[in-house]
C-alpha cells in the first residue's frame, strides 16, 4: 500500500455510530483536521485546530485495531486534504463498511466508489446554505445506493426549505434522506410531527452519541 500524502488528524476513536443508516453500530472514527466554512451550529469546532501529522498507513492501522463494524472518515471537512482519497481507498481494501461524512461543500467525484457517502446539505439557519455543492446531486442520482443526504434542521423554516429541496432535486424515492434536529434547538417531537403530517419519505435520526454521553463529550 502506498502511503500517499500525509494527513492531519484531529482524533481517532472508537464509539457507537450516532447517525446515518449505520446508527447503533460500533464504529472507528478518523476525524481529519481543518474546515473553515463556519457553519453556525458546528459541534466539532475543535477540529479546526491543526491536527497531528500521520501517514495514511498509521491512521489506517490505528483505526483497524479497534475491530469495529465500520469505519468513518469525518472532520472538519475531510475532502480538503488530498490524503483523504488514498486513505479512503486503503480503508476499503481492509474494511467492508467505510463511510465518509462530508460537509457537502466540495465535489465527491474522486471518492472511491466503494465508500458510503453521507453528504450534509446545509439548511439556511447554518449560515452557509449557499455553499452547498449542487454538482454532487447528478452523481448521487446515478448511484443512489452510495449516498445518504443528511439535513440537520433548527427551525420550521429549515424544514420547509429541506422539503422543497428534496422535491426540487427529485431526491425522494431514490437516495436515502436523513432528517435530524440541531441538538437543543428543535424539539424532536415537533420534527416528527411535521414528517408524519407531510408523509415525507425520509428517515428521522437522532445523534445517539449525544444521548449516551454528555453532548459536549469529545472522542465519542
DSSP labels, 183-211: TTTS-HHHHHHHHHHHT-S-EE---THHH
> How many Cα atoms are found within 13 Å in the side-chain-facing hemisphere of 48?
9
In a domain, residue 213? The reply is no
In a domain, residue 215? The reply is no
DSSP at 169: T
Task: Please state the pTM of the whole predicted model.
Answer: 0.95
pLDDT tens, N- to C-terminus, the chain (220 residues): 555 789 999 999 999 999 999 999 999 999 999 998 889 888 888 988 889 999 999 999 999 999 999 999 999 999 999 999 999 999 999 999 999 999 999 999 999 999 999 999 999 999 999 999 999 999 999 999 999 999 999 999 999 999 999 999 999 888 899 999 999 899 999 999 999 999 999 999 998 988 889 888 888 8
In a domain, residue 212? The reply is no
In a domain, residue 139? The reply is yes
In a domain, residue 192? The reply is yes
Grid cell in block for residue 22: 449505520
In a domain, residue 216? The reply is no
CA distances to 34, 54, 106, 190, 217 from 211, rounded to whole Å, are: 26, 31, 30, 18, 11
pLDDT at res. 138: 95
pLDDT at res. 179: 98
In a domain, residue 138? The reply is yes
pLDDT at res. 220: 83
> How many Cα atoms are found within 13 Å in the side-chain-facing hemisphere of 152?
22
Structurally, the chain folds into a number of domains equal to: 1
CA-closest candidate to residue 56, choices 104, 17, 91: 91
The Cα–Cα gap between 35 and 39 comes to 10
pLDDT at res. 50: 82
CATH (domain of 35): 3.20.20.70
Q: Which residues contact 24 (CB under 8 A, 6 or more apart)?
A: 16, 17, 208
In a domain, residue 175? The reply is yes
Structural domain harbouring 56: 7-207
Amino acid at each position: 500500500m502506498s502511503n500517499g500524502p500525509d494527513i492531519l488528524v484531529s482524533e481517532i476513536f472508537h464509539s457507537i455510530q450516532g447517525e446515518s443508516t449505520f446508527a447503533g453500530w460500533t464504529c472507528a472514527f478518523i476525524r481529519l483536521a481543518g474546515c473553515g466554512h463556519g457553519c453556525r451550529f458546528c459541534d466539532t469546532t475543535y477540529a479546526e485546530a491543526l491536527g497531528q501529522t500521520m501517514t495514511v498507513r498509521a491512521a489506517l492501522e490505528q483505526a483497524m485495531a479497534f475491530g469495529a463494524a465500520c469505519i468513518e472518515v469525518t472532520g472538519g471537512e475531510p475532502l480538503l486534504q488530498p490524503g483523504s482519497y488514498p486513505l479512503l481507498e486503503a480503508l476499503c481494501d481492509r474494511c467492508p463498511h467505510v463511510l465518509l461524512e462530508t460537509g457537502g461543500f466540495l465535489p465527491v467525484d474522486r471518492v472511491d466508489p466503494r465508500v458510503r457517502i453521507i453528504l450534509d446539505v446545509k439548511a439556511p439557519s447554518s449560515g452557509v446554505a449557499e455553499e452547498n455543492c449542487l454538482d454532487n446531486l447528478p452523481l448521487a442520482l446515478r448511484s443512489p445506493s452510495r449516498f445518504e443526504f443528511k439535513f440537520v434542521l433548527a427551525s420550521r423554516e429549515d424544514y420547509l426549505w429541506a422539503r422543497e429541496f428534496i422535491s426540487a432535486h427529485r431526491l425522494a424515492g431514490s437516495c436515502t434522506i436523513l432528517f435530524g434536529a440541531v441538538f437543543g434547538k428543535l424539539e424532536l417531537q415537533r420534527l416528527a410531527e411535521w414528517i408524519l403530517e407531510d408523509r415525507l419519505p425520509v428517515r428521522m435520526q437522532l445523534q445517539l452519541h449525544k444521548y449516551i454521553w454528555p453532548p459536549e463529550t469529545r472522542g465519542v
